[in-house]
Structure 1
């Protein structure tokens, strides 16, 4: 489905992955789409994403449906849009990807953006070594009412907080999440990053380096 027909997605929440460390974002999106039985609503023909075509991974019986490099799924009752990105961002086109996404957000009059990503656990600071391994970063004022742990600010080598706003937070291994968050923030678009700090065991490292 190309989804070229106009749909009313005003005030929907948009959730998307950042291709990242351990593929956490994409796996979470797959789980969300499958659990909510979301349907494909539009294929995004963005030249900044490498083309991909495969059998629909959520359809076990009908092998006539296909999945594409970057695709929009919808759940109308929850007013939820989900983007699944299967193709990598073309080299040198990261900002073009961000611009395309924010244009899509504005054209469809969406409510907010939620990015799912991961933080390379090797880059954790002392306060992140134990306890809950999930963090968030948000421009939404009431987001801390949920009881989540905010992403800690970075420090320089002398353990002083970094003053420059764009450098205060950094998601190591988080893919496009950093660039997308700060660009949306500058444009006053409500955006939240949800991130996990996954630990890799030796077997996984050996597999990834094979």
Structure 2
């Protein structure tokens, strides 16, 4: 359920929604951080649900001492009205038994809000790729038929690679086996995509094969990939230098080593 933080609820009709999947390396969430921070997006509300682990924290995008102590929730919505762009940032893990319920909540909200399209930023375990997925770029995409009606030409011009379907047991010949969509480590990515196909929702998934560790370079790669399509920055040729890192990233790997240890 969306709760507005403004006196009058914002209108998202014909907006593009970008959201992360809580997946390996948290790449989607880091990429969304870059969007919110760089585009100076305004918080307009949050998603109230029991599907996420409860948490609260300080402002991850603070720019001065005065706004650093603002309280922030597990799932918040930001907006850049001039770009007709909305972002849902998810900061807490999804409770496993409520995964389907959370997907249904998102699909219902996207449809009720009138978004023109939704984009899920996700990731998948690099070590579980099959032979065909080892070739070329580690970036992949998926798109529902509803989204392809208006964006097929644009995606074709970009030359992106669609996420390959793989056999249930790679390497074992089985005439009856059909390739399937497999996104290990992708959280709700596959389920949300499947639900969106069933609901005729215009949704795309952009994902990156990666491993756990320092995933900041992966976040830049994913958000640059998104920018190639949506052109959110004015100067695409300098996009690598224009993304603004939020203040919360200074503690991405915790604080320094306590001197008392030595």
TM-score range (shorter-chain normalised) is: 0.7 to 0.9
Aligned-partner Cα distance in 1 for 2:174–2:24 = 26
Mapped pair 1:9 → 2:24:
no
Higher helix fraction (1 or 2): 2
Instruction: Note the aligned Cα RMSD (angstroms).
Output: 2.1
**Structure 1 alignment gaps of length 5 or more:** 202-206
Q: For 1:15-164, what aligned pairs fall within 5 Å after superposition?
A: 15-61=18-64, 62-139=67-144, 140-141=147-148, 142=152, 143-156=155-168, 157-158=172-173, 163=178
In the superposition, relative to structure 1, how do residues 24 and 145 fare at CA in structure 2: closer, same or farther (>3 Å)?
A: same
**Count of residue pairs the alignment pairs up:** 199
What's the secondary structure of 1:113's corresponding residue?
Answer: strand
What's the secondary structure of 1:56's corresponding residue?
Answer: coil
- Larger Rg, first or second structure (1 or 2): 2
**Structure 2 alignment gaps of length 5 or more:** 214-252, 254-262
Task: Give deviations 1:152-187, integer Å, cap 9, x for gaps.
Answer: 111243276954xxx621111101101100001001
How high is the TM-score relative to the length of structure 1?
0.87
* 8 Å contact from structure 1 (residues 155, 161) kept in 2: no
In the superposition, relative to structure 1, how do residues 185 and 19 fare at CA in structure 2: closer, same or farther (>3 Å)?
A: same
* 8 Å contact from structure 2 (residues 25, 211) kept in 1: no
